[in-house]
Amino acid sequence: MDTIRIDILNPKAKKLLENLEALNLISIKKDSKKRFKEIVKQLRTKSTSTPSLEEITKEVESVRAKRHGN
């Protein structure tokens, strides 16, 4: 099986690909890794400040305590 990446420029092309998938001629898979990276990038650009190492450590310890019932 060969894998290729296609950037769809026209919505009509997407419909054609969906029709090919319905005929079991191709398989369409979304790239969740890319989407995750895009979301993280958007969140980072909207952030006004970066948490300090102390703040991160405090949050991690809080979550761990809740998880372990402490």
Q: Is 14 a member of any domain? A: no
The runs of H, that is alpha helices, within 1-70 are: 11-22, 32-46, 53-67
Q: Is 3 a member of any domain? A: no
Residues 6 or more apart from 41 whose CB is under 8 A from it? none
Instruction: Decide which of 69 and 70 is more confident.
Output: 69
Q: Is 16 a member of any domain? A: no
Domain count, the chain: 1
Domain that residue 68 falls in = 31-70
- Predicted TM-score (pTM) above 0.75: no
Provide the pLDDT for residue 70. Answer: 63
Q: Is 42 a member of any domain? A: yes
Type and span of the H or E element at 31: none
Q: Is 53 a member of any domain? A: yes
Q: Is 7 a member of any domain? A: no
Q: Is 69 a member of any domain? A: yes
Q: Tell me: the pLDDT tens digits for 16-48?
A: 999 999 999 999 987 767 778 888 888 878 777
